[in-house]
Amino acid sequence: ASGGASITVRDILAASQWQPVPQCGYQCVSCCRVFPTLWSVKTHIQHSSQEGYSCKVYYRTLKALWEKEHKKQEAAAPRE
Q: Whole-angstrom Cα distance, residue 2 to residue 61?
A: 7
R_g over Cα of the chain: 14
Q: Whole-angstrom Cα distance, residue 3 to residue 35?
A: 27
**Mean pLDDT value across residues 16-44:** 82
Q: Whole-angstrom Cα distance, residue 42 to residue 67?
A: 20
Q: How many CB atoms lie within 10 A of CB 9?
A: 12
Give the model confidence (pLDDT) of 58-67 as tens digits.
989 988 988 8
Tell me if the pTM is above 0.75. Answer: no
Q: Whole-angstrom Cα distance, residue 2 to residue 5?
A: 6
Which band of pLDDT confidence, cut at 50, 70 and 90, is reported for residue 57?
Answer: very high
